[in-house]
Structure 1
Amino acid sequence: MPNVNETTFIGVDLAWRGEKASAAAVLRGERHSARLIELRPLTSFSTVVPFIERHARPPAVVAIDAPLIIRNQEGQRPCETRVSECYGDRHASCHTTNLRLYPDAVSVRLASELMSRGFRHAPDVTDPKNGLVILEVYPHAALVELFQLPSILRYKKGTVAKKRCGLRELQQLLTQLSLFNPPLQCTVELSEFLTKDVDSLRGTGLKAYEDGLDAIVCAYIAYYYWFHFPSGARLFGDVDSGYIIVPARPNDPAELNSNRSR
């Protein structure tokens, strides 16, 4: 039974096609720390909302790696263009999303279903300490910011050997979150997951492991956003044209203003 003083933070690495597998991670905690409660592959889109509903009792913050708002017919969303301008030199440019490419995006459907259940988009929220909040996030840019990396980690594309090398780098970085502010406790369960031998993984197993790591990153972004609000996030875009939230280090200029686009 969750502590009534705790907040739930859910990260979803959402497959952009409904029949593909996604992954979700659940953290629960307070200002002093959070811990991993559950990490689970989700076999199809139909399992995502029930999973979130099972865990998301107010207050809860859900960070989703997928475009939640798509209104442009073609080209990039303004938020994608701006993120690419800011992080392109570190190879963290965004994929292009529009209605021509994704006329019925499962991610937009997910946002709509969550909104019908009482969730609100982060730019419309004045205090995430209460209620139910969803936000679109981008792990590549988040990792670059949180760990001040000169470039993204190459764990998604390339040869299997290169992916495994990138996954090992990501494993090492995520163990350092126990030293961050706010800290993610390195529990036995989390430690076991982060020390998995990636050389033993291949094919769908390797992809599922990558998805799980991304889900943990998303969940930590939700925690970081909640902990440092309103100074701990940069807002790119808005709820009219789509937005992406990227963590901001404490001494960085931060923006979390729904009326201003980066």
Structure 2
Amino acid sequence: MPEFILGIDAAWTVGGSSGLALLKKENTESPSLIKLAASYKEFVGEKTYTNQKALPDLHQVINEIGKIPHVVALDIPLSPRPMTTYRAADRQITSRYGKKGAAVHSPTHDRPGKVADHMFAQLSNAGLKWAGVDAIPENAPYFMEVYPHVSIIEYMQLEYRLPYKVQKKGKYWKEYPQEERYHLSIKQLLKLRAALQLKLNHSLDDYLPVLDQEQKYKTSFLKAYEDQLDAIVCALTGYDFLQGKAMALGDETSAIWIPNSI
């Protein structure tokens, strides 16, 4: 039976930009990407790169897939209890990866607040279990919290996090002129795309074409491209969990899943 893994690079605020990636694992060594979208609406058929000012409808997303995924892996804080401060999972990730530039932002009452609570409730109501630190693949389906920066560090065996966030290029390369920052940003997105391609069974070309470094893209387009790459990273981390190649940091109320170093 095929396994389906949904990755969601989830906005922490209502209407923020999100990416979604659906992987399918059959009798191959690597999963196949079978659906990719730059918003919840686009995933279910509405061709748009922007989300409406509404909470995500994950029931609609699951209905579009046609069955409950084995894993839904999300880049957003998740907990069965209210989150208002730094959690054990946040502290452990920061302790391990802070020196590599991947410390964790602390959840607050407002961010992600009702967005995370809403997603937790919807996925629980759909029949998935929250993946705490003791979750095992045999008990799927699960939904789990992941952290793309850390997954990318592990997948690419980096000493420091990849500087691919489009809206932070001014921070990454302060000493460079604006035009050079733009080209460096494109280069990092392509570097991440190439690394993810190695982990997939089919070409990414039909979903995320290779960027042309001589072309000028709108920031909104590049942000959507970045969100979709992050969604693939989330899904691959969920896939690794199913293969027994992931571990969780946290405690009984917080768990961030990361790939084992391979």
Q: So what's the TM-score if we normalise by structure 1?
A: 0.79
Q: 1:231-262: CA deviations, max 9, x gaps?
A: x222111342x221111124xxxxxxxxxxxx
Aligned with 2:36: secondary structure? strand
1:85 correspondence with 2:92: no
SS in 2 for 1:39: strand
Q: How many residue pairs end up in the alignment?
A: 237
Superimposed CA distance per residue, residues 173-194 of structure 1 (whole angstroms, 9 cap, x where no aligned partner)? 4434454xxx41232545x615
Moved more, 134-143 or 216-225: 216-225
- After TM superposition, list the pairs within 5 Å mapping 1:22-101 onto structure 2: 22-30=18-26, 32-42=29-39, 43-44=51-52, 45-55=55-65, 57-58=67-68, 60-69=70-79, 71=81, 74-99=84-109, 101=110
Match of 2:124 among 104, 115, 118: 115
* Structure 1 residues 245 and 187: alpha-carbon distance in aligned structure 2, compared to 1, 3 A threshold: same
SS of the counterpart of 1:16?
A: coil
CA RMSD of aligned residues (A): 2.6
Could you tell me which residue of structure 1 aligns to residue 208 of structure 2? 193
Q: Given that residues 68 and 111 in structure 1 are in contact (C-alpha distance below 8 angstroms), is that contact kept between their aligned partners in structure 2?
A: yes
One-letter code aligned to 1:50: Q
Are the aligned partners of 2:59 and 2:126 in contact in 1 as well (CA < 8 Å)?
no
1:243 corresponds to which residue?
Answer: 255
Q: 1:217 to 1:122 in 2, by over 3 A?
A: same
AA of the residue aligned to 1:107: A
CA distance in 2 between partners of 1:57 and 1:108 (Å): 23
Cα separation, partners in 2 of 1:152 and 1:167, compared to 1, 3 Å: farther
Post-superposition Cα deviations, 1:46-86, rounded to whole Å, max 9, x if no partner, equal 34441134226245211100011274665311211111111
Of residues 107-116 and 122-131 in structure 1, the stretch that sits farther from structure 2 once superposed is 122-131
Q: Which runs of 5+ in 2 are unaligned?
A: 40-50, 171-177
State the percentage of identical aligned residues.
30
Contact residue 77 and residue 112 of structure 2 kept, 8 A? no
Cα shift at 1:141 = 0.8
